[in-house]
Amino acid sequence: MEFFETITKRYSHREEFTAAPVPREDLVKIVLAGMRAPSAKNDQVTSFVIVDDPEQLQAVAKVLDRPVCYSAKAIIVCVTDPRPVFQGVSFAVEDCAAAVENMLLAITALGYASVWVQGCLRLGDTAERLGRLLGVPDGHQVQIALPVGVPAKRGAQAERMPFERRASFNRWGG
């Protein structure tokens, strides 16, 4: 798939996946795309737990409790080390977000679908419970989960506002 076509076809998939497996070689390609994202001072503070064991998938889905997770054939969990990397400031969230966008594009290019799951991780102790389940070390934070699979029904990207409404040259509203 051509790069700009991939960007246009990427959408947030919240529906069921088919029973088709996601081969580990594709999961490796997806995570490598995330690992190629820029990171502050090249400290690479984002790590990934790739869950593809059926029993572990169900345990993760139960913690996340999002319908799309129950039929996923893999869930990629992004974990950050929030240590400061530049003048006492952490860029873990930004680094993780860049990695996730690369992975979402890779997922689309390979013919799979996903959705950025983060909101439920911010509620209660969900991120901590998922971290314990996956053996995430103390001091690290579960940030985002990406359920991956072949969509049972293809979706489309939600309508975007026109360029002129969101972008201008040289000054705001210019």
pLDDT tens, 42-94? 999 999 999 999 999 999 999 999 999 999 999 999 999 999 999 999 999 99
pLDDT at 16: 96
pLDDT at 108: 98
- Domain of 36, CATH number, reads 3.40.109.10
Q: Which domain holds residue 68?
A: 3-151
pLDDT > 70 fraction of the chain, expressed in percent and rounded: 100
Residue 64 identity: L
In a domain, 87, yes or no: yes
In a domain, 75, yes or no: yes
In a domain, 169, yes or no: no
In a domain, 161, yes or no: no
pTM score, whole prediction: 0.96
Q: Nearest-5° angle of CA 122, CA 126, CA 128?
A: 100
In a domain, 174, yes or no: no
Nearest to 16 by CA among 153, 157, 118, 146: 153
Q: How far apart are CA 174 and CA 168, in angstroms?
A: 5
For the segment 93-128, what is each residue's pLDDT rounded down to a tens digit? 999 999 999 999 999 999 999 999 999 999 999 999
Q: How far apart are CA 31 and CA 135, in angstroms?
A: 19
Q: Which residues, other chains included, contact 41 with Cβ-Cβ below 8 Å and sequence gap of 6+?
A: 85, 86, 91
User: Do 115 and 78 contact (CB within 8 A), yes or no?
Assistant: no
Q: Give the residues across from 113 on adjacent strands.
A: 149
In a domain, 103, yes or no: yes
In a domain, 164, yes or no: no
- DSSP letter at 117 equals B
Q: Grade residue 174 by pLDDT with cuts at 50, 70 and 90.
A: confident
In the chain, how many domains are there? 1
In a domain, 97, yes or no: yes
User: Do 95 and 48 contact (CB within 8 A), yes or no?
Assistant: no
**Range 146-172 average pLDDT:** 95
Q: Per mean pLDDT, which range of 24-28, 124-128, 170-174 is the poorest?
A: 170-174
Q: How far apart are CA 109 and CA 36, in angstroms?
A: 16
